Structure 1
């Protein structure tokens, strides 16, 4: 059994992560600081250390020096992109931004441990003739249907190559898991996989984040910085929502793909990098090239090999399989080993269209597990007829229409039926985004900017370009 040390000063996160790992078969120890970890444990006895970046006293990255033979995975909720670069430069094998997805964490842990095991026994591996490229995609993603089996086959074929891959699929289908599988099955698995959500970075900063900058390159550039492309040197770079890249960044990225070189903002010198590029989008990039929103030459450079992740409504038979996995996980977390779905609940889940895909399904199971009376989940506890996902309330002033500056979208066009929350959100954003900032939109809707962005992604509403 693999031994993992968690170093985290927030008790809730520490306990939740400990329970998650223990329920997946790992032996787990915990500490709340670097000093506590080094004073209480022999760090070399662990197979993996998972640490928060910011801790009382020494930073989490100092564990890399305290235990040079043990891989260290860094968690951070503070400016994750910048922290990722610094952590990788100091020797961290992986980083995860908080709040993290449980599948993402388990996938990262499994990949690190598998790679560490292979590195420790190279002679045995060569003698047995086993593949050195990593885990099977079926270990990272779930899918018993024919459509997902075709995805797995394609990943197995393309992963060992250096080919650039474009992953297409709706929000919530598991594009990032597919990218992780491509990386872990590749010869670059021992090097970092850097994940970047292009839609989450302000346009004014994206070139600096991706390519780095020199000191004094712009106001606020008080020191030189390494970009995320350079941080992925030797490994893989996953660019999620690449359709949101502004034109200037698209041109720079094209040069990386064509020439294998980068130039920091404000620098005259170029540097060679070896990066395997994996991109993902839920948008139609081909159509965007016709409108001039996306460079045609970049599109063809990215679209060498395309992998389409099918939406959940096309994955016949996988809904119940995924439900059982999520249900088992919730049963472990909540201490309800007998948690189950009624036959009626199963039928309701099979009939539902799942516009939010796997992410929506996981949320529905979690919500129903909490609401269930006893150990049995009924259809009404799944709440599938009401689209939820972001916790927000429509302000009464907007519903009643007494705000002259931001009138609510007309309900006359809804053919007499009430708008769902999804409809209301979409209509309101589309009607007001031309004259309101993201902050103003979020305030009017009574949600956070993060919730606004997440719901934009799920509904396919692009952010208004400044």
Structure 2
């Protein structure tokens, strides 16, 4: 039974975390500060879970006080800088408050398994491990806002299964990165993932490209050719913009999904294939079905699992985080010194609507890196500052009579830049679960008091729904 030290100055959170860990058969010792924690023999613990902000010394002090014990840092200040600083100092992982109880337990188990040298053989540890950056990234996707945390959790849950996945998202949001993360965390990771943009292939060639052809199947087919579906055998096939697939090709694709076989153009013989299909679109496939432009049977075959990639404009401080990551990558690639953003540039990046999403942000970072002069990137170099306020951020609607007026994706008015992702998490969790949970259950799941839950509802303009749970 693992022995865990919890260092947290807020009594309610400390008690809730202790009860959660004890329910999962861990032995827990509590402390309210670093000094109080150090009154114990720290080497007796298998893990230390510490809040970042503590009276006296910060929680990262536990890393140096207990060099032989892994430290998991908790913080309400969910920012890239605090997370990176904690990881650089040697923290084993990082988790934002209010944390999801299941995520906390899985993170604790993974760290303990890693400490025991068993992480490579434990499916429980490895399947839930999002990488060394913990909450900050999954694969090549970067972000810690609530929608991205939900996306990471969904990907890690569905990746080991063989089910077909349909990814929704605006152009430039990173749908292919999500598909790559699914593939890389699956049992097919060592096999190829073939990516196809259905909108980029001429309609006359799409069937040949996907399913292959035999010699003489059509003019110009001078030899037999393997299609991309066959090339993905044993691995994954990612079909981007599947809404653009012609109807005849849709029928052939349906056969691949149903029968696990492919028939090349120009032959009646079929070949067995073992392919995991991941599709993506920015269009509403249901509307295409109703318009007769997409096969209904294929739609329901694709709809087994649906993932939604949030647009950049609703991702809060993730925008600056991604901008910094991209700037670093391009500076290394171009062999240039890496500048920093001026306060005006940071404000412009944060407030701009980004209709082109991450793809547009990539272009802006390359342009800024090349054109900037001096150690700081100014807002004017970004070529977005004059348009930054075209998108006016709506404020939360406080209307008890119609709670549906507040959509989950509405940006928040009041939180500071450092606290935005935490508030996003709170809003999304409450809106998702309030119909099925009482206020007491919601508060317990969030690790806060019922009074604190009520106060946050008032501040964020989230009216309480009338439910049978009360």
1:33-72 deviation line (CA, Å, top 9, x unaligned): xxxxxxxxxxxxxxxxxxxxxxxxxxxxxxxxxxxxxxxx
The aligned counterpart of 1:177 is 177
1:114-154 deviation line (CA, Å, top 9, x unaligned): xxxxxxxxx99448986389964623210110110100000
1 or 2 for the larger relative contact order (CA 8 Å, sep ≥6)? 2
Conserved in 1, the CA contact under 8 Å of 2:164 and 2:302?
A: yes
The aligned counterpart of 1:324 is 324
Greater helix proportion: 1
Conserved in 2, the CA contact under 8 Å of 1:144 and 1:318?
A: yes
SS at match of 2:126: coil
1:272-299 deviation line (CA, Å, top 9, x unaligned): 1111000001111111111111111111
What does residue range 31-430 of structure 1 map to in structure 2 within 5 Å? 125-126=120-121, 131=126, 136=131, 138-337=138-337, 339-384=339-384
Distance 1:338 1:261 in 2: 50
CA gap 1:333/1:193 in 2 versus in 1, 3 angstroms: closer
Distance 1:268 1:133 in 2: 44
SS at match of 1:207: helix
Conserved in 1, the CA contact under 8 Å of 2:241 and 2:282?
A: yes
The aligned counterpart of 1:72 is none
SS at match of 2:171: coil
Distance 2:250 2:124 in 1: 41
Unaligned runs of 5+ in 2: 1-117, 132-136, 388-470
Distance 2:230 2:372 in 1: 49
SS at match of 1:199: coil
Distance 2:285 2:164 in 1: 15
Moved more, 331-340 or 366-375: 331-340
Distance 1:133 1:270 in 2: 38
1:317-363 deviation line (CA, Å, top 9, x unaligned): 10111111122223334554450111011111111000000111111
TM-align CA RMSD: 2.2
SS at match of 2:204: helix
SS at match of 2:187: coil
The aligned counterpart of 2:436 is none
TM-fit CA distance, 1:195: 0.6
CA gap 1:220/1:258 in 2 versus in 1, 3 angstroms: same
Runs of 4+, deviation exceeding 2 Å: 123-137, 329-338
Conserved in 1, the CA contact under 8 Å of 2:139 and 2:177?
A: no
TM-fit CA distance, 1:248: 0.5
Unaligned runs of 5+ in 1: 1-122, 388-466
TM-score (norm 1): 0.54
From the CA coordinates, give the structure whose radius of gyration is larger: 2
CA gap 1:257/1:340 in 2 versus in 1, 3 angstroms: same
SS at match of 1:262: strand
CA gap 1:383/1:162 in 2 versus in 1, 3 angstroms: same
1:397-436 deviation line (CA, Å, top 9, x unaligned): xxxxxxxxxxxxxxxxxxxxxxxxxxxxxxxxxxxxxxxx
Conserved in 2, the CA contact under 8 Å of 1:214 and 1:266?
A: yes
TM-fit CA distance, 1:162: 0.4
CA gap 1:385/1:188 in 2 versus in 1, 3 angstroms: same
Distance 2:122 2:305 in 1: 33
TM-score (norm 2): 0.54
